Amino acid sequence: MMSHANVQTTCKVAVLAVCCILQAKLLSAQTSAATDSSETRKQELLDLEHRWLRAEDDPSALESILAPDFLHVLPAGIVTRDEQLEFMRKHPAPHATVQKHFENLQVRVYGNVGIVNGVVLAVVAGGTRRTLFTDVFAYREGKWQAVNAQELPAKVQ
């Protein structure tokens, strides 16, 4: 027959074991939810990049993609969102059909900041043009918006 002290010790050990198991399950669920959330955010950024590529010559469409504090780093200098949209409205892109697609997209998410690196491959008259890029996004008020962009022509191979 177990003494009262032994019963209490056994009960304490059992309660402690149950608490440990519940805590481990909770931690596992939180890790799984965080992974799912991270993958969802990465997919949202990929979708936005594709939308941006399709609309890159349409200033009206870009208004919802580019954040008010967006900066575009170009060889001529740093251009604000408003400057870029104004330039595009005054100098519309020619309506030539250029086929473009992405290669080597890499997406990283750090909380409410997303970074996308990759290559835009454009099939143009006389060949193919490759442009390396980095786009930085901020998640604000329930949506991703671009806050920074920089392109670099790839070395001709």
Domain that holds residue 115: 4-153
* Type of residue found at 12: K
Look up residue 113 and give its two tokens.
């900041």
Q: What is the Cα–Cα distance from 135 to 56, expressed in whole angstroms? A: 13
Q: What is the pLDDT of residue 4?
A: 54
Whole-model pTM: value is 0.76
The total number of structural domains in the chain stands at 1
CATH of the domain at 34: 3.10.450.50
Look up residue 59 and give its two tokens.
């200033």
Q: What is the Cα–Cα distance from 69 to 139, expressed in whole angstroms? A: 13
Is 51 in contact with 65 (CB distance < 8 Å)?
yes
Q: What is the pLDDT of residue 116?
A: 98
Q: What is the Cα–Cα distance from 26 to 74, expressed in whole angstroms? A: 48
Q: What is the Cα–Cα distance from 4 to 1, expressed in whole angstroms? A: 10
Q: What is the pLDDT of residue 30?
A: 47
- Mean per-residue pLDDT pooled into runs of 10, the chain (157 residues): 56 48 50 68 97 94 97 94 96 82 96 97 88 97 97 85
